[in-house]
Amino acid sequence: MTIDRQPIATPQAPAAIGPYSQAMQSGGQLWISGQLGLDPVSGNLVEGGIEAQTRQALANLQAICEAAGTSLHQALRCTIYLTDLRDFALVNGLYAEAFSQPYPARACIQVAALPKGGVVEIDAVVALKHHAH
């Protein structure tokens, strides 16, 4: 039995820098890899610390959603990884601006380190929009 899965890639989000896809689409869902606050063009972290990196990570998630024909507003679940939970209130406020009610399920955890020295990473599972055939 073959599982229906299709990779999603867009130049509007940072290119995968390892053995993974930006996202995989399967069974009406989009599974997006963790997004750092990387500029899609340079591949480097954006300047401006936690606020700028959070905004860019969310923008990267949205760009991948759009490449798959959906939106972050269709998110089912997200995970936020922070190198410092003291940033939680700030990140939570920016996160709330990017989503609408009903909000997706979520987990937020502190980690020892993130790739490229990032301070925040966010991943998501997003529902694909259904189109009439």
- 85: enclosing H helix or E strand: none
Q: How far apart (Å, rounded) are the C-alpha atoms in residues 131 and 34?
A: 27
Residue 71 bridge partners (DSSP): none
Measured in residues, the chain has a length of 133
Residue 108 known to be catalytic: yes
> Which of 9, 52, 90, 108 is an active site residue?
108
How many C-beta atoms lie closer than 10 Å to residue 21's C-beta?
16
| Residue positions annotated with a catalytic role | 108
